[in-house]
A = this chain, B = another copy of it.
Amino acid sequence: MREQVRRAFAVCPIEVGIAVAGGDWKLTIVSKLAEGTHRFGALQRAVGPVSAKTLARQLQALEEDGVVLRVAHAEVPPRVEYSLTEAGVELAKIGEALGRWSAAYLPEPEPVGVLPAADDASLGA
């Protein structure tokens, strides 16, 4: 378990959860792994615009906190597969809930330059 997580225990369980899941990309990584085992490269493409360094670090942190499982195959070229532990599966559900929450309560900002479609009313009498 990481030091950051250990320190959060002194405060409250919610902060522990934030310490584990709070970093950028982390819950997205977990939600992608909830769909199935991914290799490193596939995961990077699935998650979005995340750098390899950051993805690797977040995966290490998640592994150390018991959320993801890492299996390296001794092959050439190398193949490393990531999946969820039981704790990870449960955490993924919370991630899904958070995604639903933001979709429900935070209106997507209109992209700049996109005008609302004209309808009959806007054409006047």
Contacts and interface: CB of A to CB of B under 8 A. Distances in A.
A76 interface: no
A16 B14 CA distance: 19
A27 B18 contact: yes
Nearest to A92: B14
Interface residues of A, number: 45
A101 B101 CA distance: 18
Interface in A37-73: 48-49, 65-66
Given A11-B49, A12-B48, A106-B5, A101 B17 contact: yes
Q: Is the interface of A mostly helix, strand, loop or mixed?
A: helix
A59 B100 CA distance: 22
A108 B9 contact: yes
A23 B22 CA distance: 7
Nearest to A16: B102
Interface in A1-39: 1, 5-6, 9, 11-18, 20-28, 31
Given A22-B24, A91-B101, 14 more contacts: A11-B28, A11-B49, A13-B99, A13-B102, A14-B102, A15-B27, A16-B102, A17-B102, A18-B26, A18-B28, A21-B98, A65-B106, A90-B104, A90-B105
